[in-house]
Copies of this chain bind each other. A is one copy, B any other.
Amino acid sequence: MSGFVLNERLEAESRLVCILGLCQLRLMNDSRWPWLLLVPRRAEAEEIYHLTPLDQTLLTFEAGETARALKRVTGCRKINVGALGNVVAQLHVHVIARNPGDAGWPGPVWGLGKAQPYDTNSADALIRAVVKEL
């Protein structure tokens, strides 16, 4: 973890949920979709294959547990998982709950319109529910 500093933009757009073995788990501040972010606490990783094989396995495990928890909390139709990094290069994995009729369905969420921030109570409740399921 030495040298890891969370990217400023990721920090500004999301809130810490909890620290996992490898990643910071964060909630994107956009209430249009329940949208979590996993940020491996490794300096300079930009692609998944930059991680060691053990860290890649940890990331897969943490992304799986996060997806399962988000599915249980939201009852969503589909989980979308993605690591793009075209805007923010620091490696981060999106885990998003999707449903028919949500904003942009069935297209991707990235770059779509403007974020609709949560009110604090709603974000707190979602974070508590996710942590309980992890």
**Residues of A bordering B, CB below 8 Å:** 46-49, 53, 56-57, 59-61, 63-65, 67-68, 71, 78-87, 89, 98, 105-108, 110-111
Contacts and interface: CB of A to CB of B under 8 A. Distances in A.
A107 B110 contact: yes
As for how many copies of this chain the complex holds, the number is 2
B78 A49 contact: no
B84 A84 contact: no
Main secondary structure of the interface of A (DSSP, over half): mixed
B80 A106 contact: no
Given A47-B71, A81-B84, 16 more contacts: A47-B67, A47-B79, A48-B60, A48-B63, A49-B65, A49-B68, A56-B60, A78-B84, A80-B85, A81-B82, A82-B82, A82-B83, A84-B98, A86-B105, A86-B106, A108-B108
Contacts of A64: 48-49, 56
